Amino acid sequence: MAMQGFTGPLVRENDYCWRIPKDYKPGMRVDGLIYADDVLIERVRSDPAPEQVANVAFLPGIQKASLAMPDIHWGYGFCIGGVCATDPAEGGVISPGGVGYDINCGVRLVRSNLSSRDVRPVLPKLVEQLYANVPTGAGRGGKYKFDRAKLRQLMELGPAFLRDRDLATDADIEFTEAHGCLSGARPDWVSERALDRGFDQCGSLGSGNHFLEVQVVDEVFDVPAAEAMGLHEDMVCVMIHSGSRGLGYQVCDDALRQLRGVPEKYGIDLPDRQLVCAPVESPEGEHYLGAMRAAANFAWCNRQLLMWQAREVFATVFGRSWESLQMGLVYDVAHNIAKLEEHQVDGHAKPVWVHRKGATRAFPPGHRELPACYAKLGQPVLIPGDMGRASWVLIGQDESMLQTFGSACHGAGRLMSRHAAVRASKGRRIDQELRDRGVIARARSWKGLAEEQPDAYKNVDEVVEVVHKAGLAKKVARMRPIGVIKG
C-alpha cells in the first residue's frame, strides 16, 4: 500500500526554507524546517517524510528546530536528510533512528593526475578490473579478515590501525573527517553477532546505493577552492560511497532492541516507536554511543581499504604506482552519524549531540576541525548524485553553522522506492541506457542496477542549487560519472 503524502502545514520562511509550526502537533518542542525551493517542495509534499520531521521535534533536549535537507525522503524514525541537535544538559537524548542502520555511511573522493583522454581507451578494462578486485554485493566479504582481537583494535583506532599495517598514509588520515576516529569507542560493547558479520567485510562495498565511481571533473565553479583541493577540469577522480556494512547494521539492530522500553523508563513520550531513544547521560545512552562510535570507526576503515584497493587497480591498469598517479585523498565525510560538537544556540556556545541522518557535515572557513590546507577555505562537502548524471564538491559556509548545525544535504534523494524502480525497469536494459550516456556500469544483478537507475533519484543539480543558494555550502566542482561498480 502506497504511503500518503504530507497534509500538514508548510509555511514559507524564505525562497529556500519552509516551516512546520510547532503547534502542528501537541508535543512538538520546536518547529520543523525543510530546505527546498518551489519545485522540490512539491515533491516533498508528496512524501510522508515531513511527518517524520515533525515527530523528531518531540525529542527531549532538541535545540532550535528539527531540520531536513532538500534530499529529504522517508526513512526509519528520522527522515533521510534529517538533522537534529540535542543538549545533554537539558535531558537531551540520543536516537539510533537519527543515525541510521548503516552507521557512518559516507563518501570519499580521490583525485589523480589522469585526464579523460588517458582513461577512455582503457575504461572498459579499468571498470572490469575494479569489479573483479573490489568486493561488491550484500553480505559479501573480501580479502581483509580480522580476528576478534584485531577487529576490536580496528574499531578503537580507526585508520591509524591500518596505517601501522601499511594500508593507510598520514595524509589519508589527515583528510578524513575526525581523522577517521571517534574517541570513546567501546568495541567491547559490540555484540558477537556484529563481530561475526564484520570480520571479513572491512574493505567491501556492499549493495543498495553504495558504489565506486570513476568520474571526470566536468565543470569548475570556484577555481581557487578547486585548486586548493587539487581539482581541475577534465581530471579523473574516484568517488567511494559505503559504510559499516553488516557490523554497523547489527549494532543498530541490537540498540533498537535494547532501547525498546527505555523511553517509558525515563518518562519520554514519543509519537513513533521508531524514534526509540535514551538520555545521552544514561547507561543505555552511553552503551549505544560506545558501540556506535566503534561501528563508525569500522566504516572509516572500510572506505580506507576500498580506496586502497582502487589505488592498486589503477596502478595495475596504468603500469605506474598510485603515488605517481597522484591518487591523493581530497576528503572523506560521514553522513549517518551522531557527534558531540560545539554550536551557538541562543547566542551561547554549548556542546550538543548532532544527529545527521543522510546529511553531511559542512563546516565553514576557520573551523578548528579542518585540515590546515582547508582552514581558510571551508570543509569539502561531497554530494553524490546518481550513476547517470553527476556528483558535486562544495565547501561549507558560515550560514551552515547559523542555520543547520554545520550541515548540508548528502545526495540527490530518492524519488522512487526500490520496488517502484524495479517495476519501472521491466523490459529495459539499464546498463545499456547508461552506456548510451557514456557510463560503463557493472553490478551483481540486473535488479541492483534497476533499483539505482537515474530516474529513481531527484536531479542532484537541483538539490545542490538549494544548498548553494541557502548559503549552507558553496559550489566548487561538478563531476560526471564514466564508470561505476555496484553491489
- 140 burial (CB, 10 Å; 0-12 / 13-18 / 19+) is middle
Residue 23 buriedness (CB in 10 A; 0-12 / 13-18 / 19+)? exposed
Lookup: cell for 359: 546529511
Active site annotation includes 355? no
Instruction: Read off the C-alpha cell for 152.
Output: 576490536
Q: Residue 304 is inside which H or E element, if any? A: helix 283-318
**Cell digits of residue 181:** 576516529
Distance CA 351, CA 345 (A): 10
Report d(CA 24, CA 398) in Å as an integer.
30
Query: How many residues appear in the chain?
Result: 487
Taking the alpha carbons at both ends of the chain, their separation in whole angstroms is 27
Among 73, 241, 355, 410, which one carries the catalytic annotation? 410
Name the amino acid, one letter, at 453. Answer: Q
> Left, alpha or beta for 208 (phi > 0: left; psi -120 to 50: alpha)?
left
Angle at 449 between CA 443 and CA 454, to 5 degrees: 135
Residues in CB range of 135: below 8 A, 6 or more apart:
141, 142, 143, 203, 204, 205
Joined grid coordinates for residue 374: 582547508
Residue with cell 590546515: 372
Give, as one character, the DSSP assignment of residue 2.
Answer: P
Q: How far is CA 241 from CA 209, 302, 303, in A?
A: 8, 10, 8
CA atoms of 97 and 274, how far apart (whole Å): 7
Three-point CA angle 409, 70, 399, nearest 5°: 60
Catalytic sites, residue numbers: 410
